[in-house]
A and B are shown apart, each in its own frame.
Chain A
Amino acid sequence: MADHEDTTNKGVEKKPEVVAKQAANPGGRDELALSLLADILGRPVRANADFFALGGNSVVAMEWTARLRTEAQLDLSPVVVLTAVTVGEALAQARAR
């Protein structure tokens, strides 16, 4: 895994590539969700990754779930993010609701 000097630059602006992915694949909410998390963390995100091994924390969980609500119309509780074994499991729980 590559070195990461800093993941504190957690931008809140929706980046053009995120918008483009959403437009190109309106049904791919998981893909969009992962893109949003990658945008916040400043690093690639895989669905099978431990949220905390990606540099996630409670603040990131709050920001990600807020952006999921507004940008992906996905209602995911921060509690689920903080307790799921993987990011993908958290998203699966959101889909199952």
Chain B
Amino acid sequence: MAQWPDLPAHRREAGRGLSAADAETDMSVVVHPAALVSPVSRSAPTTVFYGIAHAGAGVGAWSDVAAAMPTNMELRAIRLPGRETRHAERAHVDSAAAIHEIAATIAADVRAHGVPFLVVGSCSGALLGRSAVTELARAGAHPAGLIVIRQPSALASQAPQPPLSDLPREALRGWLARHGMMRREFIDDEALFNLFEPVIRADLRLGERYRAEPYPLGCPVTVVWRPGDDGGFAAYAAWANDTTAPVHLVTADSAGDLLRDEARRIAATLAAAAARGKASRSAALAGVGWENQLIA
């Protein structure tokens, strides 16, 4: 397993517990036919984004962003077990299995279609996406970028204590509402909350058990953050430690659900990230750079 000589101490710490076996790349997992869905299909996309949603969410979380994408770009959403049409399947209980399924699903699609692609993750989905990018790169599939939405770098954040996944029901409802993770009418609807609660807890547990990858990415990273989010600016800026390529910071000064209420701006951010990714392929990596763009 290769070592990175300039690996910061905290990153080495974060990577402890990984074994040589973790570096093995096996894309032989059978891809579930419902694991990848295009909410809005394009006839001949020149760029594809693979979206991994926040805790408890699936393909539906991306529908508005997918609809707002430029016509030459398509957003394909990952559907993990335990939600939507895969509701009857048991949700992943460890992040490695989830990451492996995500990477294998993307790899199969990339093999089939072969257009430039980027990975985008919302909240804990961004952590899974970050590790999936690593796994994909090991398999020779290199994304043109990673976009993380409202998720601090795992290298700079600690899992909340007590764990969110163990919060009593009413406390979990309160946390979801405060953080804009779910619309109030869904939180208050007993039948809907009964549907979402198990997979929300399972996904939160995945995030709590997630261990940061000790190896930096080679692709540009775009970070969308919202002032007031847990960890503050420093936790988001720490994504600079996750890649050897440029990092771009986008400030979303909006109180709403970004994927729903700011779908057009998020779509524009994704398109800009694709353009940067394309440019970075023809230019020498310039190290970490910053752009701060206010999107609302």
Q: What distance in Å separates the Cβ of B194 from its nearest Cβ neighbour in chain A?
A: 8
Cβ-closest chain A residue relative to B189: A78
Q: What distance in Å separates the Cβ of A29 from its nearest Cβ neighbour in chain B?
A: 22
Known: A3-B71, A52-B39. A84 touches B191 (CB 8 A): no
Task: Specify which of B37, B61, B192, B194 is in contact with A50 (CB 8 Å cutoff).
Answer: B37
Q: What distance in Å separates the Cβ of B183 from its nearest Cβ neighbour in chain A?
A: 7
Give the segment of B40-48, B152-160, B217-225 that binds chain A: B40-48
Secondary structure at the B interface, as helix, strand, loop or mixed, is helix
Is the beta-carbon distance between B63 and A52 smaller than 8 angstroms?
yes
Check A5 for interface membership: any CB of B closer than 8 A.
yes
**Contact mask A19-58 → B, CB, 8 Å, 1/0?**
0000000000000000000000000000000101111111
Which residues of chain A are within 8 angstroms of B41 by Cβ–Cβ distance? Answer: 1, 3, 53
Known: A52-B63, A58-B60, A82-B195. A3 touches B84 (CB 8 A): no
Is the beta-carbon distance between B37 and A3 smaller than 8 angstroms?
no
Q: What distance in Å separates the Cβ of B47 from its nearest Cβ neighbour in chain A?
A: 14
Given the complex of chains A and B, what is the CA–CA distance between A4 and B71 in angstroms? 8
Check B208 for interface membership: any CB of A closer than 8 A.
no
> Which of A3, A4, A62 counts the most chain B CB atoms within 10 A?
A3
Given the complex of chains A and B, what is the CA–CA distance between A57 and B63 in angstroms? 7
Secondary structure at the A interface, as helix, strand, loop or mixed, is loop
Which residues of chain A are within 8 angstroms of B40 by Cβ–Cβ distance? Answer: 3-4, 7, 55
Check B263 for interface membership: any CB of A closer than 8 A.
yes
Check A96 for interface membership: any CB of B closer than 8 A.
no
Which residues of chain A are within 8 angstroms of B66 by Cβ–Cβ distance? Answer: 55
Which residues of chain B are within 8 angstroms of A1 by Cβ–Cβ distance? Answer: 41, 43
Which residues of chain A are within 8 angstroms of B42 by Cβ–Cβ distance? Answer: 3
Known: A5-B67, A62-B185, A82-B60. A55 touches B39 (CB 8 A): yes
Given the complex of chains A and B, what is the CA–CA distance between A82 and B39 in angstroms? 14
Check A6 for interface membership: any CB of B closer than 8 A.
yes
> Which of A52, A62, A77, A82 counts the most chain B CB atoms within 10 A?
A52
Task: Specify which of A3, A5, A6 is in contact with B43 (CB 8 Å cutoff).
Answer: A3
Check B175 for interface membership: any CB of A closer than 8 A.
no
Is the beta-carbon distance between B60 and A57 smaller than 8 angstroms?
yes
For the complex of A and B, 5 pairs with smallest distance between CB atoms: A57-B60, A52-B59, A83-B87, A1-B41, A7-B67
10 extra A-B contacts, CB within 8 A, seeds A50-B85, A57-B61 = A3-B42, A7-B63, A50-B37, A52-B63, A52-B77, A53-B41, A54-B39, A55-B39, A82-B87, A85-B85
Can you list 28 A-B pairs, Cβ within 8 angstroms, ordered by A?
A3-B41, A4-B67, A5-B67, A6-B68, A7-B63, A7-B64, A7-B67, A8-B68, A8-B263, A50-B34, A50-B85, A52-B59, A52-B63, A52-B79, A52-B85, A53-B41, A53-B59, A54-B39, A55-B66, A56-B39, A56-B63, A57-B61, A57-B64, A59-B183, A60-B60, A82-B60, A83-B84, A85-B34
